[in-house]
C-alpha cells in the first residue's frame, strides 16, 4: 500500500512539472524584453523648445499614438500569437530533440573514439620522438655561450 502511495505521489510530481501556473501580472519575470520594446510617445515624438504645436494637437497625438499602439499590439497578438506560439514551440522542441538525440551522442562518441586515437598518438610520440629529443638534448647540453665585450 505504501509503494502504491509513493508511486502515485511520483506521478503527481511528474505531472506538476508539465503544468505550470503563469503569472498574469508580471509577464516578463526574467526581463528578456526589458530594453527592447519599451517605446513610449516621448521616445518617438518630441517637440524642441520654440517649436510647439497646439496643445490640443499634442494631446490628441499622444492619445492616438498610445491607443493605436496598444490596440494594434493586442490585435496582432490575438491573430498571430497562438500560431507563432505553435511555431516557436515546434522549433524549440526540434532543437531540443536534435540536441538530445544527435548532438550529445555524437560528441560523446567522438570523445570515446578520440581517446583511443590519443593513446595511440601518445604511444607513437613516446616511442619515436622521446629518444630523438633526448639524444638532441644530450648533444646540445655541452654548448656554452659566452658573451664578451670587445673594446
Grid coordinates of 32 = 528578456
- Categorize the per-residue pLDDT at 13 as very low, low, confident or very high, splitting at 50, 70 and 90: low
Q: Is the pLDDT of residue 12 over 80?
A: no
Q: Angle at Cα 22 formed by Cα 20 and Cα 27, nearest 5°? A: 145
H/E run at residue 149: none
The sign of the dihedral angle between the CA atoms of 99, 105, 108, 111 is negative
Q: What is d(CA 64, CA 58) in angstroms, rounded to the nearest whole number?
A: 10
Tell how far CA 107 is from the center of its chain: 19
Q: Angle at Cα 53 formed by Cα 50 and Cα 57, nearest 5°? A: 160
Q: Considering the chain, what percentage of its residues have pLDDT values greater than 90?
A: 52
- In tens, the pLDDT along 112-143 reads 999 989 999 999 999 999 999 999 999 998 88
- In tens, the pLDDT along 59-97 reads 999 999 999 999 999 999 999 999 999 999 999 999 999
pLDDT score of 151? 76
Q: What is d(CA 123, CA 91) in angstroms, rounded to the nearest whole number?
A: 46
Grid coordinates of 96 = 531540443
CB 52 within 8 A of CB 58: yes
Amino acid at each position: 500500500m505504501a509503494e502504491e502511495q509513493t508511486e502515485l505521489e511520483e506521478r503527481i510530481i511528474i505531472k506538476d512539472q508539465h503544468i505550470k501556473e503563469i503569472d498574469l501580472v508580471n509577464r516578463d519575470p526574467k526581463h528578456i524584453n526589458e530594453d527592447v520594446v519599451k517605446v513610449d510617445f516621448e521616445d518617438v515624438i518630441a517637440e524642441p523648445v520654440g517649436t510647439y504645436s497646439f496643445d490640443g494637437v499634442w494631446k490628441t497625438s499622444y492619445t492616438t499614438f498610445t491607443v493605436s499602439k496598444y490596440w494594434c499590439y493586442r490585435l496582432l497578438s490575438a491573430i498571430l500569437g497562438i500560431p507563432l506560439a505553435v511555431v516557436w514551440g515546434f522549433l524549440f522542441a526540434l532543437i531540443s530533440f536534435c540536441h538530445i538525440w544527435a548532438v550529445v551522442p555524437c560528441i560523446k562518441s567522438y570523445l570515446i573514439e578520440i581517446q583511443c586515437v590519443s593513446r595511440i598518438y601518445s604511444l607513437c610520440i613516446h616511442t619515436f620522438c622521446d629518444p630523438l629529443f633526448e639524444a638532441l638534448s644530450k648533444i646540445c647540453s655541452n654548448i656554452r655561450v659566452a658573451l664578451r665585450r670587445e673594446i
